[in-house]
Amino acid sequence: MSFESGRLALIGTGLINGSLALALKRAGAVGEVVGCARHRATLERASTLGLCDRTTPDPAAAVAGADLVVLGTPPGAIGEVAARLAPGLDEAAVVTDVGSVKRAVVDAVGAALPRSQRFVGGHPVAGTEHSGPDAAFASLFEQRRCILTPVAGTDPAAVARVRAMWELVGSTVDEMTPDHHDRILAVTSHLPHLIAYTIVGTVADLEEQARAEVFKYAAGGFTDFTRIAASEPVMWRDVFLNNKEATLEMLGRFTEDLIALQRAIRWDQGEVLEDLFTRTRAIRRGVVEAGQAYVRQPEDPLAAKP
């Protein structure tokens, strides 16, 4: 199925929605793109960068006449935003979102919209540590995966349309239940982010002098964590609060494993360490073979070769 949209409304004009706009424009698949955000400065940047053809801070005005609406607001605000745009929504419009949690979002948006069967929960598994309109780039979704989470009653035609959009911008699309999505992402994304935030926070609490030295020698491993821990604060706050159960479950497993490892170090159990480190190397091979290890674009001002 090919994809096109006469008028696309983007609620939120940050990294994900902005990149989607650029990718769809590049493909010549959209007529007009209308951008909506709370702050005037954000909307001005989105216009200047060519992400949107027209902007408005009013969600109901933004969606008027749009055949497709993409919600790109943090999960904690998405229900309220959906309620505000509902009065302006066309009957035939398809609504989707790009949030990193799905159960809470599908429930909140479903309850707020007059025709929840035209809403398809979505999550493009792509991103960088940067945020806002300036972070957007057209190739963000190429060779990445996108998960759609239709529920009982969701219109199959709406699902097909959203699927076609993500395929057009280069992603492979899978479908699963919102709960299943949240359990998988708790492992692949939410727990790793939580741990990265924690270790970088632990370093932030070191005294000034030690912190300066950490910056200097960060290349030894710490750098990777700082990149993850630079991700958008409000979005991630909402992710953890809205995928609490699965995150806490995985965190419990992780903490047990960490304590066991701590004990092995204290008691000089070298074979326990070597055995684990050998098993984790095999996992890396699994990830590489699944095509999920990729090379990052030059994005750091002081980028140097490894």
Binders in 213-272 for a second copy, by CB under 8 A: 213-231, 233-234, 236-238, 240-241, 244, 247-248, 250-251, 253-255, 257-259, 261-262, 265-266, 268, 270
DSSP state of 148: E
- The order of strands in the sheet holding 145-148 is 122-125, 145-148, 172-175
Please report the DSSP string for 219-260 in residue order.
GGTHHHHHHHTTS-HHHHHHHHHHSHHHHHHHHHHHHHHHHH
- Taking residues 29 to 48 in sequence order and writing x for each that binds a second copy by CB under 8 A, - otherwise, the string is --------------------
Query: Does the footprint of a second copy cover residue 278 (CB under 8 A)?
Result: yes
Total residues at interface with a second copy (CB under 8 A)? 116
**Of the listed pieces 60-68, 77-85, 101-109, 142-150, which binds a second copy according to CB under 8 A?**
142-150
Record the tokens describing residue 273, joined without a space: 């360490």
Interface residue with a second copy, options 61, 83, 203, 249 (CB under 8 A): 203
Least separation in angstroms between residue 305's CB and a second copy is 6
Rounded Cα gap, residues 279 and 256, in angstroms? 17
Query: Does the footprint of a second copy cover residue 77 (CB under 8 A)?
Result: no
Are the C-beta atoms of 189 and 100 separated by less than 8 Å?
yes
Query: Does the footprint of a second copy cover residue 301 (CB under 8 A)?
Result: yes
Least separation in angstroms between residue 245's CB and a second copy is 10
Rounded Cα gap, residues 107 and 123, in angstroms? 15
Q: Which residues contact 57 (CB under 8 A, 6 or more apart)?
A: 36, 37, 38, 39, 40, 43
- Taking residues 102 to 141 in sequence order and writing x for each that binds a second copy by CB under 8 A, - otherwise, the string is -----------------------xxxxx---------xx-
SS3 138: coil
Query: Does the footprint of a second copy cover residue 291 (CB under 8 A)?
Result: yes
| Residues in region 158-197 near a second copy by CB under 8 A | 174, 183-185, 187-197
Query: Does the footprint of a second copy cover residue 6 (CB under 8 A)?
Result: no
